[in-house]
Amino acid sequence: MLTRVWEHTLGEVVQWARVNSPWALHFNSGSCNGCDIELLATLTPRYDVERLGVKLQGSPRQADLLVVTGAVTRQAKDRLLRIYAQMPEPRFVMALGSCALSKGIFHDCYNVVGPVDVFIPVDVYVPGCPPRPEAIIAGMVALLGKLQAAPAAEAQT
């Protein structure tokens, strides 16, 4: 009984920490750089996502949130899979922009192999060409809300 209460409390604390400290890693899997510029704009003082605890990390080992921009090209596919495999659990993926969602204007290019969710599980989709910084922040908040709503026991794994 006591252990269950303890585990539940611990799970809630961990979940609280997880919701409040999502560190992001940015990966360009064949984007035209439009979304990348918007993502960088989101990190500038005007939008300041450090309010939400979001920090851009250099190493996939230290990131919780993988932000993928662009349709996946033949060349970037292996790198995308490797970066995703390098991230420690629990890990989340945000697909950013129309191309990451559905290949966008690159839909019949010879070198494009598919949208992001064909290769790795995607937790939140942010549409737009490119999405505005407000849309990116809304996507992050949606992801955090999803994490918050998950039962605490699930968050502990």
Partner 1 sequence: MTEVLALLIFPGGIALLLAALLYEWINRKLAARLQNRVGPRWFQPLADLVKLLAKEEIIPQGAQPVLFDLLPIVSLAAVTTAALYTPLFGLAPAGSFPGDLIVAVYLLSVLSLCTSLAGLITDDRYALVGGLRVLTQLFSYEAPFLLALLLPALVAGSWQISVIAAYTSEHTWLLLTQPVGFVVAVIGLMGKLELPPFDAPEAHTEIVAGSLTEYSGRGLALFRLSRNVVLIVGLTLIAALYLGGVANPLLFFAKTLLLLVGVTIAQMLFARLRIDQTVGLWWRFGVLLALGQWLLTLLGKAVA
Contacts with partner 1 by CB under 8 A lie at 13-14, 16-18, 20-21, 23, 45, 48, 50-51, 53, 56-59, 61-62, 64, 86, 88-90, 156
Q: Assess contact for 103 and 114: CB atoms under 8 A.
A: yes
- CB nearer to partner 1: pick between 24 and 112: 24
* Closest approach of partner 1 to the CB of residue 45, in Å: 4
Q: Assess contact for 129 and 96: CB atoms under 8 A.
A: no
Number of helical (H) and strand (E) elements in the chain, helices listed first: 6, 7
- CB nearer to partner 1: pick between 142 and 152: 152
Q: Assess contact for 106 and 30: CB atoms under 8 A.
A: yes
CA distance 37 to 14: 33
- CB nearer to partner 1: pick between 25 and 32: 25
Q: Assess contact for 63 and 57: CB atoms under 8 A.
A: yes
* Closest approach of partner 1 to the CB of residue 52, in Å: 9
* Closest approach of partner 1 to the CB of residue 121, in Å: 16
